[in-house]
Amino acid sequence: MKYFFAVITVVFLMSSDSVRDIRKEKQKVLKTIIIDAGHGIRPNGGYDGAKGSYSWEDEICLAISKILVEDIKKNFPEIKVVETRPTEKITSLYRRAEIANENNGDLFISIHCNAAPPVRRSELIGYKQVTYYVGKGKNRKKKVKEVPQYRYWTEPSQAKGTETYIWGAHKTEDKELAIRENSVIFAEENYKERYGPIDVNSPEFVAMALLKTKQFFKRSATFAGMVQDEFVKIGRVDRDVRQRQIGIWVLQATAMPSVLIETGFITNPEEENYLNSKEGQREISRCIVLALKNYISWLEKRQTNENEAEPSSNKPSVKNDVFHFLRHVQDIESHKHSFTYPVE
């Protein structure tokens, strides 16, 4: 009987350890995702985004974002989803970044539609005789020449496809500032116990922020590449992952991996119909969700490799300062997989 209870105790202890191990293995790599529906209706009632032949970017962005929010909640119920523009009304760009940072976002996804100017066409419709004179005085002579006449018109641009933007790697100052100003969102929950007090204005912490900027760039580029891959699989034209250094405030001011997805060209009649259709909107959302699944798997694999690469005996002690924090981040960087998606 004593042996029986001993066995039960051992099994219970083993089960408890297993549960703890499983929980550790299933530690969430993404807790909060920020969904940003681009543009919106201005206070005066006007639209802010691009215009197609019959629709506006503002409405399409909101419709796709709403479907995406529901799909993420359905597929990842443990992840908190925050919307920067939950209604048709516009949210200022500054406020969008504030919402993302205040909610400690782990990933920022901004939904937009692309636009291209119309194409100017011309057609020769005939010639017109024009009289002109050459010479002076008695030598002045009258001449006639034929001048071609053209008809001009414009046609909608045939530009099509998807492209995903990230903040440029060679423009780090603004992104670094966003990280420093929101340092709590990327510091470990027990960073004070592990590393001691940290001065966000110290040279050491600035260096750490630069490293974090590099990490955010890698993660943004990786997720952006995965999004484009999923679009390619369903036959969309791949316009690649692109870097921007100016003009996209939400990528600059969010202290987290951030992407802006141009879901298609509203100025192309074929794509405008696709972007306005429920089928097209659901398909776009499915592609982003599939990319999100791949991204989470990628993060989990990296997390596993990082844990294996850093034995517990080498972890920083309770009283260590920011230098150990910096070294910890550097060690993590050295064990990460190289980014393989092409970035312009």
DSSP string, 48-64: -S-B-SS-BHHHHHHHH
Mean pLDDT of 108-135: 92
Pairing of strands 107-114, 258-265: parallel
What confidence tens digit (pLDDT) does each residue in 47-97 have? Answer: 999 999 999 999 999 999 999 999 999 999 999 999 999 999 999 988 998
Task: Check: CB of residue 248 under 8 Å from CB of residue 171.
Answer: no
**Cα separations (Å) of 226 from 46, 220, 292?**
35, 10, 8
Q: Domain coordinates of the chain in residue numbers?
A: 27-115+158-334, 119-155
Q: CATH class for domain 27-115+158-334?
A: alpha beta
Complete edge-to-edge strand list for the sheet that includes strand 258-265 = 80-83, 32-37, 107-114, 258-265, 162-167, 238-244
Torsion 43-46-52-54 (CA) sign = positive
Nearest Cα to Cα of residue 159 among 262, 62, 233: 262
Q: What is the pLDDT of residue 23?
A: 38
- Rounded-to-5 percentages of helix, strand, coil across the chain: 50, 20, 30
Give the separation between CA 99 and CA 61, rounded to whole angstroms: 18
Contact 309, 331 (CB under 8 A): yes
152: three-class secondary structure by DSSP: strand
Rounded to two decimals, the pTM is 0.73
pLDDT per position as a tens digit, 232-278: 999 999 999 988 755 577 887 888 899 999 999 999 999 999 999 99
Quote the CA–CA distance of 96 and 253 in Å, as a whole number. Answer: 9
* Cα separation values, 195 from 56, 72, 167, 287, 321, Å: 50, 35, 30, 40, 5
